[in-house]
């Protein structure tokens, strides 16, 4: 794998972690959501739209609406909230670990640890796949 591909993946995972962490911390609010709410460096803003749309498509986040701009600015999102699936995954505690995945994401981002953030995001993605597999197995 090339260094560029690895960096793009790492940056995408960092943005996903920041979006999930911000939504986990704020709970249900009627406010909008913008890239600035992630508290990430502006250099990562071009990953924001694709990452947010991926979270919506995967069923972790629900929004009232989202508006993309032709100017290249990151999109604005209205009424974003974690879905039940998102809360279930972020609220899960692994055996032997006293922290929820959501709390771990928040602490990792505040500490600036990219590799630990990637591990927490990988756990979220893995749990999302596990959740979907159980759901579809039970409904087939």
pTM score, whole prediction: 0.79
Q: What percent of the chain has pLDDT over 90?
A: 23
Phi and psi at residue 39, in whole multiples of 5°? 60, 25
As a whole number, mean pLDDT of residues 17-43 equals: 88
Q: List Cα–Cα distances, 126 to 26, 102, 131, 132, in angstroms.
A: 24, 14, 9, 10
- The whole-angstrom separation of Cα 31 and Cα 137 is 36
Among 9-13, 78-82, 116-120, the range scoring the smallest mean pLDDT is 116-120
Residues with Cβ within 8 Å of 11's Cβ and at least 6 positions away in sequence, in order, are 44, 47
What pLDDT, on the 0 to 100 scale, is given for residue 83? 92
- Crossing angle, helix 3-26 and helix 114-138, to 10 degrees? 70
What pLDDT, on the 0 to 100 scale, is given for residue 115? 62
CB 6 within 8 A of CB 111: no
Residue 42: pLDDT band (50, 70, 90) is very high
As a whole number, mean pLDDT of residues 17-26 equals: 89
């Amino acid at each position: 794998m090339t260094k560029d591909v690895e960096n793009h993946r790492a940056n995408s995972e960092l943005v996903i972690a920041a979006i999930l962490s911000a939504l986990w911390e704020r709970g249900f609010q009627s406010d909008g959501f913008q890239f600035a709410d992630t508290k990430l460096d502006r250099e990562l803003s071009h990953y924001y739209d694709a990452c947010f749309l991926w979270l919506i498509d995967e069923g972790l986040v629900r929004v009232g609406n989202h508006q993309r701009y032709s100017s290249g600015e990151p999109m604005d999102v209205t009424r974003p909230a974690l879905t039940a699936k998102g809360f279930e995954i972020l609220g899960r505690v692994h055996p032997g670990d006293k922290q929820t995945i959501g709390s771990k994401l928040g602490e990792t981002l505040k500490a600036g640890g990219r590799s630990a953030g990637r591990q927490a995001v990988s756990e979220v993605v893995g749990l999302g796949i596990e959740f979907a597999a159980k759901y579809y197995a039970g409904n087939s």
